[in-house]
Amino acid sequence: MRDEGGLTRLLTASFDDIATRWIDEQTAEGVGRADLIPVDETRAQSRELLSALLRAMEAGGGDGPMADVAFDEVRDVLARIAEARIDRGVTPTEMAWFMHSLKPALFATIRSGDAPIEAALDEVMMAGRVVDRMAIHAMDSYVEKRETVIERQRAEMNEVSAPVVKLWDRIVTVPLIGTLDSWRAQTVMENLLEAIVAREAEVAIIDITGVGTVDTMVAQHLLKTAAAVRLMGAECVICGVSPKIAQTVVHLGVDLPNVVTRIDLESGLDYAFRKIGLKVVERDRDRERQRALRRS
Amino acid sequence: MNPVSAPIADEAPRAVTLRAQSDVAVARQAAAQAMTAAGASAIGRTRFVTAVSEVARNAILHGGGGVVRFARREGPQGASIMAECRDRGPGIEDVGRALSDGYSSKRGLGLGLGGARRLVDLFEITTAPGQGTMVRLTSRAR
Amino acid sequence: MAEPIGAAIVTIDGCVTVAVRDDLDDQAVLRLQDRLMEEVARRSAKGVIIDISGLEVVDTFAGRMLGAMAEMSRLLDARTIVVGMRPAVAMTLVDLGMTLDEVETALNADKAMALIADEPGLRSHRR
């Protein structure tokens, strides 16, 4: 529906009033977040958005879809506001209220005007719809941006949280920390197998000491990884199995036939050494000293 | 639904006729090419091509031969490759059983369908005794 | 004379070795099987090393062929060890449900030969 000019006139005539009222409303609702965003910045952004809205109304946007070319500038400004706020930790709810608090500001201005009741009601409805559309669009892009950030953080965490380390000649280990979802489990498996090839490892130790809970899904992933390691010709040891994990696994009925498990990394390493035919012996310091003396 | 009805309507698909066992390798190559062109990773390609190999061999050994067609689809998450394999064989009587592991119709020859299903993003099968079999495998390139 | 299999079979230190190429079709695989066993018998070999590092795809058919080769060579008193499996192939085989329990594997030919030298004619205790 095209704005019959009411909203355009309103914004032109009472721009400062509306802007001030809006900012006051934000503060009243407690969504100004002056702790995160300087008040000046909020004021400038609010005014910028209002200007863009005015121009959109002038271009005949009315209460049409936000994708309309009339709203190009509005969308730009909204995107910038959203980005600035996400980075500083403003919640989606606060962002939504930031937008919606524009309504009381517009309604109050319409009310204090001298338009006849029917025209005033039309203007109120129009204003309501326009703000709703902007708020929904703001929320959509807000959520989208947040998901991008989360995804990036997840990728970064994935990089550092499961590094495959060469513990010894022919022995590699990977410490698993935190939760293990399907995607991460596959990445860990890939990295471990690539490392086995690169390091020519004969034993791979998977340390699950840092894994919070071992449910059926985690157990299945561990099983698959162990099977893949064995297929490639290496041994697999899963260490860090606590009594609680042992209990969970048995109660879940998960079958762990050919999987070697140990309580901690130390026993896992002990097993690995034996598999590759090595033994740790204590140095004979007396003999070393005597040899050193004889040489000097 | 009759599985051997309308062919898929999409961009120019590559089709591989499956007659002799040697055609399985041809199907693999076609699948690999499609995946590579769509920018798939090595692991993604390996999984999809392996699934196609299983299904194509089934069509030849159990379905009396058939054809496998490839098509590329663009979706919100990027490109995906679809392989549709049809045969006019006897059809599969118990699909549920065929999809569970360890089922084999001939001695030592498992159907590999259950495995193929685990290897792809989307697995569709339409079959009935006497009506042939159609298996559709779809996987995102990345 | 059988059709060429396109892969060179070389016997070193009593081990018959072959590197499998990716473009082999089902019939070629069967021919390879025949040639390998012939060679094992001819050389009274103690081991067979099959290098699959060139294979991007190992499906249930290929997996079963590897198992068959292991069994055949066992009957000829030789040990079969498959080497060079790519990580992507290992992960795919797991999803296919193929554990290849009857097939021994090692990371590369060197390790395989060391295994065969250590315990000639015996199966690995690993499984």
Tokens of C113: 């030969």
Is C90's CB within 8 Å of A231's CB?
yes
Determine phi and psi for A11, rounding to 5 degrees.
-65, -35
ipTM over 0.95? The verdict is no
Q: Provide the pLDDT for residue A296.
A: 73
**Is A239's pLDDT higher than 90?**
yes
What are residue C49's DSSP bridge partners?
A: C17, C81
Q: What's the pLDDT at A2? A: 57
Q: Is the pLDDT of residue B5 over 80?
A: no
Cβ–Cβ gap B49/C56 under 8 Å: yes
CB-based contact C114:C14 (threshold 8 Å): no
Q: Which residue of C has its CA nearest to A231?
A: C90
Residue B61 Cα, gap to closest chain C Cα (Å): 12
User: Does the pLDDT value for residue B6 go beyond 60?
Assistant: no
Q: What gap in Å lies between CA B138 and CA B128, rounded to an integer?
A: 21
- Residue B82 C-alpha, separation from nearest chain C C-alpha, in angstroms: 18
Look at A29-43, A117-131, A219-233, C79-93 and tell me which has the smallest mean pLDDT: A29-43
Predicted pLDDT at C4: 61
Judge whether residue B14 has pLDDT over 80.
yes
| Per-residue pLDDT tens digits for A155-214 | 777 666 678 999 999 999 999 877 777 778 888 899 999 999 999 999 999 999 888 778
Q: Are the beta carbons of B50 and C92 separated by less than 8 Å?
A: yes
Task: Give percent above pLDDT 90 in chain A.
Answer: 38
State the average pLDDT over residues A9-28: 89
Of the listed ranges A186-190, B8-12, B98-102, C69-73, the least confidently predicted one is B8-12
Nearest chain C Cα to B101, which residue?
Answer: C97
Residue of C nearest to A194 (CA): C87
* Per-residue pLDDT, C83: 96
Interface contact flag, C96 B24, Cβ < 8 Å = no
Residue C22's alpha-carbon distances to A33, B25, B58, B63, C52, in angstroms, are: 62, 9, 20, 26, 9
Give the model's confidence band at B13: pLDDT under 50 very low, under 70 low, under 90 confident, else very high. Answer: low
Residue C119 pLDDT > 70, yes or no?
A: no
Q: Are strands C9-12 and B109-110 parallel, antiparallel or unpaired?
A: unpaired
Q: Secondary structure of chain C in the HEC alphabet?
A: CCCCCCCCEEEECCEEEEECCCCCCHHHHHHHHHHHHHHHHHHCCCEEEEECCCCCCCCHHHHHHHHHHHHHHHHCCCEEEEECCCHHHHHHHHHHCCCCCCCEEECCHHHHHHHHHHCCCCCCCCC
Return the pLDDT at A159: 63
Q: Measured between alpha carbons, how far is residue A93 from residues A22, A23, A89 in Å?
A: 17, 17, 11
Q: Which value, to the nearest 10 degrees, does the dihedral of the CA atoms of residues A212, A214, A220, A226 take?
A: 70
Task: Provide the pLDDT for residue C107.
Answer: 96
pLDDT at position C59 is 93
**Interval B110-116 mean pLDDT:** 78
- Nearest residue, CB atoms, C89 vs list B46, B116, B118: B46
**Cα dihedral A260, A264, A269, A275 in deg (nearest 10):** -20
Cβ-defined contact of C87 to A190 (cutoff 8 Å) = yes
pLDDT at C111 over 70: yes
Of A189, A200, A231, the CB nearest to C93: A231
Whole-number pLDDT of residue A161: 67
Which secondary structure element, helix H or strand E, spans residue A51, and what is its range? helix A39-58
Alpha-carbon gap: C64 to the closest alpha carbon of chain B (Å)? 9
Contact B88, B107 (CB under 8 A): no
In percent, the amount of chain A with pLDDT more than 70 equals 97
Could you give the 3-state DSSP secondary structure of residue A232?
A: coil
**Residue B24 reports pLDDT greater than 80:** yes
Are residues C25 and B21, on separate chains, in Cβ contact within 8 Å? yes
Contact C100 A233 (CB under 8 A): no
Interface of C to A at Cβ within 8 Å reads 81-83, 85, 87, 90-91, 93-95, 99-100, 104-108, 111, 126-127
Mean pLDDT of B110-131: 88
Tens-digit pLDDT profile for residues A28-49: 887 777 788 888 888 899 999 9
Average pLDDT, chain A: 87
Between A275 and A248, the more confident residue is A275
Q: Residue B111: its pLDDT value, please? A: 54
Chosen from C96, C98, C99, C102 to mutate, greatest number of chain B CBs within 10 A: C96
For the question of whether the overall pTM of this predicted structure is more than 0.80, the answer is no
Average pLDDT, chain C: 87
* Residue appearing with tokens 């012996």: A281
The Cα–Cα gap between A41 and B113 comes to 60
User: What's the mean per-residue pLDDT of chain B?
Assistant: 84
Mind listing the pLDDT tens digit for each residue in C5-39? 667 899 998 999 999 988 888 888 899 999 999 99
| CB spacing of A202 vs C111 below 8 angstroms | yes
Can you tell me the mean pLDDT for A8-35? 86
Mean pLDDT to the nearest integer, A257-265 = 86
Gap between the Cα atoms of C64 and A226, Å rounded: 21
With an 8 Å Cβ cutoff, is A224 touching chain C?
yes
Reported as a pLDDT band with limits 50, 70 and 90, residue C123 is very low
Give the residue, A217 or B18, on which the prediction is more confident. B18
Q: Provide the pLDDT for residue A6.
A: 80
C-alpha closest to that of C14 among C50, C47, C55: C47
The pLDDT of residue B104 is 42
The partner residues of B85 in beta bridges, in order of sequence, read: B68, B135
User: Please, what sign has the CA dihedral across residues B68, B70, B71, B77?
Assistant: positive
